[in-house]
Amino acid sequence: MTPDRLGVAELRQALAARDVSSVELTKHLLARITAHHELGAFLHVDAQGALQAAASADMRRARGDGSPLLGIPLAHKDVFVTADAPTTAGSKMLAGYASPFDATVVARLRQSGAISLGKLNCDEFAMGSANENSAYGPVRNPWDRARVPGGSSGGSAAAVAARLVPAATGTDTGGSIRQPASFTGTTGIKPTYGVCSRYGIIAFASSLDQAGVLARSAEDCALLLSAMGGHDARDATSAERPPQDYAAPLAQGQAGASASRPLQGLRIGLPREFFPATLSPDVEGAVRAALAELEKLGATLLDVSLPRTELSIPVYYIIAPAEASSNLSRYDGVRYGHRTAQPADLLEMYRQTRAEGFGPEVKRRIMIGTYVLSHGYYDAYYLQAQKLRRMIADDFQRCFKDCDVIAGPVAPSVAWKIGEQGDDPVKAYLADIFTLPGSLAGLPGMSVPAGFGEQRMPVGLQLIGNYFDEARLLQTAHALQQATDWHRAVPPGV
């Protein structure tokens, strides 16, 4: 079997057994990245740096180093700053920007022995659901190159699905790990807000932004998350918890469960608002089939309600732009990235720099955000949204009295065609309906492959857990993946 077919756990074994060296593996994947250039997944490939790091990983292994991710090649969404590669956040504004330091998540993965092959395409400043808002062109879905891979972590999802990397980092503010994972048949986890440090992640909406993983299995997500997470004094919102090993407990199943029914005793709540009449029937069919598998594994399904699900769309699209308008004010041509040539005066420099550097969706969000924060509209929009955000979080806590995990679809449809949504941004906003509630509440969520819908496009099952219950989510997804093969399907021509 060629090494690109192996996930992180399998590669760890292959490297430990000396079936493959990190240099061989890295060379192989670099060749694949070149061969699949048409996908548009990578914005920057660091072949030289990766090969050097691989050679040093092989040497460390020969000396007995047993770091958990030693010699495993990964790639990072281009919103993580990296000292050895440029960081653009998918924006012209940051073209040519080089950070003097690594994001905490990147640094921790490096400390665990992982290698970075480069930086992955994404929507500009992570604003979008299809990777169509990148200033550096769209990303193609490996399952159908005429379709989007989802967004904003579209490059991460496409690279993992096309077997260019075994796993990649992503960020999720309102669904940007879960939705592209769903659209590409990959497994994604967004942990509880505060589990991964935001230090060195280009900020979009700081009260929502969270780092996570896109990989080929729950086990691989667990391996990476164990290395990435844990308290970081450099992020004031980082949860004061020690790093956790999410991978080791996976084999155990629910406490007191048997091998054939590893999910015995697990109560899965299905919010009725996650199964509206408008849900595409093929998506619903795939999700229900995955739920039936979970039942066979011992879980019980029950109905719950998240009555403010629909409201999460306006609430998110007020709060996220409000925070973005503030975060993006730093791009004024003075300190970071692009600066307009020959401005007449200072004001002209600010104006022209921002007019040239930002794309249309980013400008739209800055305008919406500035509007909802302005005197006279603050109470009517921003404050109302904040109050509703709390109520949405409370609704989840009511559900978690009756169930351990909440499940439903990730998105109302499979991946759409590139360009299909035209100029109407609201179409994409509405499609975020099932990922936004969990984001607003700060809860952990996963997308787990659940088979295929229309035109043999992948469908993801969403699992949402209570705060810091990542271990249970991963365990549930792992049990499903032990019993089914959906996550092993390879796109055609890959």
> Closer CB to ligand GLN, residue 73 or residue 408?
408
Q: How far apart are CA 294 and CA 452, in angstroms?
A: 17
Q: How far is the CB of 207 from ligand GLN (least distance, A)?
A: 13
| Interacting residues toward ligand GLN by CB under 6 A | 126-129, 152, 172-176, 204, 320, 432
Instruction: Provide the residue count of the chain.
Output: 494
> Closer CB to ligand GLN, residue 174 or residue 444?
174
As annotated, the active-site residues are: 77, 152, 176
Alpha helices in 137-272 (DSSP H): 154-161, 178-184, 218-228
By beta carbon distance, the residue nearest ligand GLN is: 176
R_g of the chain computed on alpha carbons: 21
Tokens encoding 5 = 């077919």
Q: How far is the CB of 93 from ligand GLN (least distance, A)?
A: 17
Pairing relation of β-strands 115-120 and 73-77?
A: parallel
> Closer CB to ligand GLN, residue 57 or residue 126?
126
Q: How far apart are CA 292 and CA 452, in angstroms?
A: 15
Q: How far is the CB of 494 from ligand GLN (least distance, A)?
A: 26
Query: 240: burial class by Cβ within 10 Å (0-12, 13-18, 19+)?
Result: exposed
**What single-letter amino acid sits at 119?**
K
Residue 394's SS3 state is: helix
Residues 117 and 75 sit within 8 Å (Cβ to Cβ): yes
Q: CA end-to-end span of the chain, whole Å? A: 14
214: enclosing H helix or E strand:
strand 211-215
Cα 73–Cα 220–Cα 44 angle in degrees, nearest 5: 30
> Closer CB to ligand GLN, residue 84 or residue 361?
361
> Closer CB to ligand GLN, residue 427 or residue 456?
427
**What single-letter amino acid sits at 405?**
V
